[in-house]
Amino acid sequence: MSELFAPLTLRSLTVPNRVWMAPMCQYSAAPDGPDQGAPNDWHFAHLAARAVGGTGLALVEATGVTPEGRISPYDLGLWNSRQQEAFGRVTRFLDEHGTVPAIQLAHAGRKAATERTWVDRGAPIGSGTYGWQPQAPSALAFDDASLTPQEMTAEDIQLVVRRFAESAERALAAGFRAVEVHGAHGYLINEFLSPFTNRRTDAYGGSFEGRTRFALEVVDAVRAVWPEELPVLFRISATDWLTENPEDPREGWTADDTVRFAKELHAHGVDLLDTSTGGNAPKARITTGPNYQVPFAERVKQETDIAVGAVGEITGARQAEEIIASGRADAVLLGRELLRRPYWANEAAAELGAEPTWPDPYHRAV
Ligand SMILES: Cc1cc2nc3c(=O)[nH]c(=O)nc-3n(C[C@H](O)[C@H](O)[C@H](O)COP(=O)(O)O)c2cc1C
């Protein structure tokens, strides 16, 4: 009996298996015009292929809650009706093929306004047709090559909280059945959480309570519009990879902070913590390799009651099965391996003796 292919129930939503597609920016939406930020044929093919491949839940890439919150001008967005309608085509297909449609809502903070990663190595675009000045908790640039953001006022903060809720309402109307708040990778919420990026002296900075206030306000606002019976997920960078490294004098968000915060997120209605790491500090020494982030998920799972997702260099069927069967995480999220092998879930099901879910027109392939 494969545990990887056992269903997972979060609130009233049952996800058919624990192989989930990690959110992955495609930088392929129109940067302007009426279809700005709307999913197009590329996004449809990208997500539909993983549904055909048997993925239990697919997370749409970081989707901006405002135009200024996009990482690049080519990001998806969900602040208008046209975008909402276009997402409907994606969610319908995923639903029809047994994949739970989920979306990651995001604000990029000081890391907004950059080129696509494959153009000028993702250089900042501060001005010109597509550029803008990013906002952040404090006026600190990521590194010498990055734009210096404007420090957000209390009104700016409240506006972004509202925008997260409005996008969540649109996500629900578009047919999504799980929503993920992007609190990781050095984007806006992560910037508020970490003492490395949050130097504020008002109620949104300073102590752990101050630095976590914005994230909890976003979660509360999203929870208030998201149905009781459907889950809210939160992606966290479990560590900035600073404080835990004795050779790095910089202070950042730590794995201990993550465990403490996981309990609060759970109390505020978050159902699953999607445990990633990094992205908030330049030149942080990151330990990578197969399962490199699983220990963070495992710790949260052991020390709290919240469900957890594990992500990062999970590529093999037996590797994924072990993570779930040993109780280290409740779901695995696959990123790059699913780009290489969109039908990974069905292939893994066959390898583990579970039932692949090939669509009827493919029955001769089985
Ligand atoms: C092309 C690409 C785009 C990504 N975009 C996002 C994103 O939109 N949101 C996010 O939280 N992580 C993003 N990530 C990180 C992945 O979700 C995942 O956490 C990471 O790739 C590690 O998993 P893997 O080793 O299976 O690829 C991206 C990764 C890749 C490769």
Of all protein residues, the one whose alpha carbon is nearest to atom 26 of ligand 1 is: 335
| 28-43 tens-digit pLDDT | 999 999 999 999 999 9
How confident is the prediction for the chain on average, in pLDDT? 97
Distance of CA 23 from the midpoint of ligand 1 (Å): 6
Q: Is 336 in the pocket of ligand 1 (CB under 6 A)?
A: yes
- Percentages helix, strand, coil for the chain (3-state, rounded to 5) are 35, 15, 50
Q: What is the pLDDT of residue 125?
A: 94
Quick one: what percent of the chain has pLDDT higher than 70?
Answer: 100
| 118-143 tens-digit pLDDT | 999 999 998 888 999 999 999 999 99
Q: Is 334 in the pocket of ligand 1 (CB under 6 A)?
A: yes
Helix (H, G, I), strand (E, B) or coil at 333: strand
Q: Tell me the average pLDDT across 153-180.
A: 99
| 322-352 tens-digit pLDDT | 999 999 999 999 999 999 999 999 999 999 9
Take residue 46 and report the two structure tokens written for it: 């990208």
Distance of CA 208 from the midpoint of ligand 1 (Å): 27
pLDDT of residue 24 exceeding 70, the answer is yes
Mutate to test the pocket of ligand 1, among 19, 20, 25, 341 (most ligand atoms within 8 A of CB): 25
Q: Tell me the average pLDDT across 53-72.
A: 98
| 240-270 tens-digit pLDDT | 999 999 999 999 999 999 999 999 999 999 9
Q: Is 182 in the pocket of ligand 1 (CB under 6 A)?
A: yes
d(CA 173, CA 183): 23
Longest dimension (CA), the chain: 64
Q: What is the pLDDT of residue 366?
A: 66
Angle at which helices 294-303 and 255-267 pack, to 10 degrees? 50
Q: Tell me the average pLDDT across 300-305.
A: 98
Of all protein residues, the one whose alpha carbon is nearest to atom 10 of ligand 1 is: 23
Atom of ligand 1 nearest to the CA of 276: 19
Q: What is the pLDDT of residue 291?
A: 97
Q: Is 343 a catalytic residue?
A: no
C-alpha dihedral, 309 to 183 to 134 to 127, nearest 10°: 10
Q: Tell me the average pLDDT across 361-366.
A: 80
Of all protein residues, the one whose alpha carbon is nearest to atom 30 of ligand 1 is: 24
DSSP class per residue in 194-216: -TTT----STTSSSHHHHHHHHH
Query: Confidence band (pLDDT; 50, 70, 90) for 298?
Result: very high
Mutate to test the pocket of ligand 1, among 19, 21, 24, 277 (most ligand atoms within 8 A of CB): 24
CB 319 within 8 A of CB 329: no
Q: Is 104 in the pocket of ligand 1 (CB under 6 A)?
A: yes
Q: Is 311 in the pocket of ligand 1 (CB under 6 A)?
A: yes
Q: What is the pLDDT of residue 127?
A: 83
Catalytic residue among 187, 204, 292, 362: 187
Q: What is the pLDDT of residue 128?
A: 84
Distance of CA 60 from the midpoint of ligand 1 (Å): 11
Distance of CA 334 from the midpoint of ligand 1 (Å): 8
pLDDT of residue 364 exceeding 80, the answer is no
| 190-235 tens-digit pLDDT | 999 999 999 999 999 999 999 999 999 999 999 999 999 999 999 9
pLDDT of residue 152 exceeding 90, the answer is yes
Q: Is 188 in the pocket of ligand 1 (CB under 6 A)?
A: no
Q: Tell me the average pLDDT across 177-193.
A: 98
Angle at which helices 317-325 and 344-351 pack, to 10 degrees? 70
Distance of CA 66 from the midpoint of ligand 1 (Å): 21
